[in-house]
Amino acid sequence: MTAPISPSTPPRPTAAPFFIDRSNVTPTVEIRGVSHFYGEGENKKQVLFDNDLTIYPGEIVIMTGPSGSGKTTLLTLIGALRSLQQGSLKIMGQELLGLSTGEQVRVRRNIGFIFQAHNLFESLTAYQNVRLTTELHDYTPQQRHELPVKMLTELGLKERLGYKPANLSGGQRQRVAIGRALVNQPKLVLADEPTAALDKDTGRQVVNLLQTMAKTRGSAIMIVTHDNRILDVADRIVNMVDGYIVSNIEVAENIAVCKFLQRCSVFEGAPPNLLTDIAGKMKREKHAPGSVIIRQGDLGDKFYLVRNGSVEVSKITDGRTDTLITLKQGSFFGELALLRDEPRAATVTAAEPAELLTLSKEIFLEVRKNLGTFEEQLRKANFGR
Amino acid sequence: MTPWNQRVPVAWCMLLHRKGRFLLSMLGIAFSVVIMFMEIGFSNGINDSQARLPVFLNADLVLLHKARTNLLEGDRLNRIRMQQALACDEVVSAVPLYEGLQLVVNPDTNLVRVISVLAFPPRTTPLKLPELDGLTERLGVKGNVLFDRLSRPVYGTIREGTQLTIGDQPTTVVGFVGIGPSIRSDGYVLMGNETWDDSKAGADLVSMALLKVKPGTDLDALKTKLLAQLGEEITVLTPEELREREVYFTAHATPAGGVFAVGLSIGFLIGMIICYQILFNEISDNMPQYATVKAVGFSKSYLVVLVMQQAVLLAVFGFLPGLAGGAVLYFVIQRATQILMFLTWQRAGFIFVLTLFMCAVSGLLAVRKVLRADPAEVF
């Protein structure tokens, strides 16, 4: 089982490399060491194991994983629908651990919930269903009327304001439910399979809408889904298995890293899924200008890729230091010592603030072993069908 | 807190959503309301009918034997007491009233029935009955009687001149007055005291003595005075006090009161069960919605208020048809049985409060289910 991995502040190496400096931004969701148990005594069963996850404003996070992996439990914990048992969970800076039921209710008012089953009141019109949630906040009478109307208009339901759910299609109902979740413009939206009951086109519409909301309003959106048709909206994909977050991939960054890796001769011929795999296993380091990254003569234990900034490679021959080359974004170094199992042949120093991605020797060699020839890969691909 | 006028009327919409069901709910509650109306109607009807006589008494004070705790039975009062009362300056007149049960033969069928007899000296008007003024003189003729035209039709066809055998005595009906039946007998017959003397032994014992006093007399002071002067044997009451005492006696000292209390409770319980059932079904149908409402941040009190609102609405909308049904039944029953069925504001108000209470209790029972809705289950 892979250890839980998460982004964090330097100099601690992390697995999910990112390049946007967010040190000044309060994360919308900040999960540290969260475990959860169901049952009591002998029947006590752990469903979440020491999970870390951070979600920033404006991010769309898609959480996937087999059923029973703890996704929904994590979602209910984030939504303050369950009491946190262990670890720390902050929503917009507020710690949820130890909150009373009443305080949990107050936290929930600032979260938009979209449920798989829309759970609209059959007896209320689309407008009333959306308006109901405005009662959780202070508005003027005028706002209380206009907000639901505006929201439903944005959702393309202007003509359906007075319709009850029974007279709406599945997609329209889900859109009303989304309107209900978004009418108060929450900073955090939690959605559970929002597209499960919808056809392809309606599902796409709904997801695009969520994306617009995230980007224009800076809301963080967390979607639990099995629907891979909507993965493209994700800024980050979190995969959960058996109560652990096994991967937490920032999609744009992952793609950028994969592109670099693809150009590395040492990974020549690696298929995309292997590249993503490698990208996911890389750790991140930051180095100040002038700091030594590897020293000539040391034993090699890592492979390096320059993510940002530049490094200088120098070699000491007969007591004289020669600067050989400056490596920029996308270049790699440190592979020879690993491949040949020899000491480092040169010293590498950060020339300017440098952000490096590293891969441990074991993983590097493992990946190399799996590369094989093109023919071998074809055979594997056919076998895997 | 969102002001009420800006809130979505969820409770109202939920009830109205299924119109057929709402109608049935209304009728179910109305049914129990009607049962409750009937029970207090009968209870009050019997009390009122039983206490009918004091209402008609044309007196400022009524003198009774102390042992006569109610008008149904008890010792009679010696006429001497009446004379003693007259000795008081404040007392202007005293009229003896004899009351008793007699058997009367239905002239049509020759079946024997019980009838209440009231006797008093001719040319006095001890009863506030408009017809009596012109007829009281005719009671001076021995054997003449006045018949209660509001009595139940069990005495056969009675007309002026009909010969009636009351007790063993032949009498002639010479006129009609309107009093109405009680639970003890189906009607009244009025006669002169001489006719009474013939049929009953012990004419020196009166059922009650009706006193008229000088205008402006302090009745309480006079009562005290009479009690002091006439000894321990008497009770002196105003007709209104007598009526209240009679109602109280019927309600509390006879099994009738208890029977109706049980009936009322059954009506209440039926209504409560019906209302609980309605609310419970409504809640069961909307459980995911309630859980959702809870999940998105509405407090428990919002849900409690929501259910209680429905309960109150059910109470109001069940009460109205129940009231209408009750009113119709009161009218029909009074017509058919001559039992007094008054639908007073107080009685309607009492039943309304009971209905509200009934629905509120079922609301509180049903609301527990809502509170159990787990918001974590909606995901």
- Reduced to 3 states, what is the DSSP secondary structure of residue A53? strand
Predicted local distance difference test score (pLDDT) of residue A130: 95
- Average pLDDT (A206-222) is 87
Taking CB atoms and an 8 Å limit, are B295 and A116 in contact across chains? no
Please state the ipTM of this predicted complex: 0.73
Q: Is the peptide bond preceding residue A11 cis, with omega within 30 degrees of 0?
A: yes
Q: What is the DSSP string of A103-154?
A: HHHHHHTTEEEE-SS----TTS-HHHHHHHHHTTS---HHHHHHHHHHHHHH
How distant is the alpha carbon of residue B284 from its chain centre? 42
Arithmetic mean of pLDDT over chain A:
85
CA B82 to chain centre: 32
CB contact under 8 A, A113 and B296: yes
In degrees and rounded to multiples of 5, residue B323 shows phi and psi of: -65, -45
- In degrees and rounded to multiples of 5, residue B339 shows phi and psi of -75, 140
pTM of this structure: 0.73
Take residue A104 and report the two structure tokens written for it.
Answer: 């949990």
Helical pair B19-50 and B300-337, crossing angle rounded to 10 deg: 50
Q: How far is CA A307 from CA A10, A295, B102, in A?
A: 15, 20, 119
Question: Which chain B residue's Cα is nearest to A142?
Answer: B6
Cβ of residue A115 closer than 8 Å to a chain B Cβ: yes
CA distances from A274 to A159, A278, A303, A343 (A): 49, 6, 16, 28
Does residue A3 register a pLDDT over 60? no
Q: What is the pLDDT along chain B (379 residues), one digit of tens a residue?
A: 678 888 889 999 998 898 999 999 999 999 999 999 998 888 888 777 777 888 889 999 998 888 787 776 777 888 888 888 888 888 889 999 988 888 898 888 888 999 989 989 988 889 988 888 888 888 888 889 999 988 888 888 888 888 888 888 889 999 999 888 877 788 899 998 888 876 555 667 888 889 999 888 888 888 888 888 887 788 899 999 988 888 888 778 777 778 888 988 999 999 999 999 999 998 998 888 899 999 999 999 999 999 999 999 999 999 999 999 999 999 998 888 777 788 888 889 999 999 999 999 999 999 998 888 888 877 7
Residues of B with CB under 8 A from a CB of A: 2, 6-8, 10, 13-14, 16-17, 286, 288-289, 291-299, 375-376, 378-379
Q: Which of A119, A120, A124 sits opposite B378 (nearest CB)?
A: A119
Give the nearest partner residue to A105 out of B7, B286, B297, using CB atoms. B297
List the single residue in B286, B298, B378 with the smallest CB-CB distance to A136.
B298
* pLDDT on residue A16: 42
**For A112-137, what is the mean pLDDT?**
91
pLDDT band at A7 (very low <50, low <70, confident <90, very high): very low
Q: Do B289 and A119 touch (CB under 8 A)?
A: yes
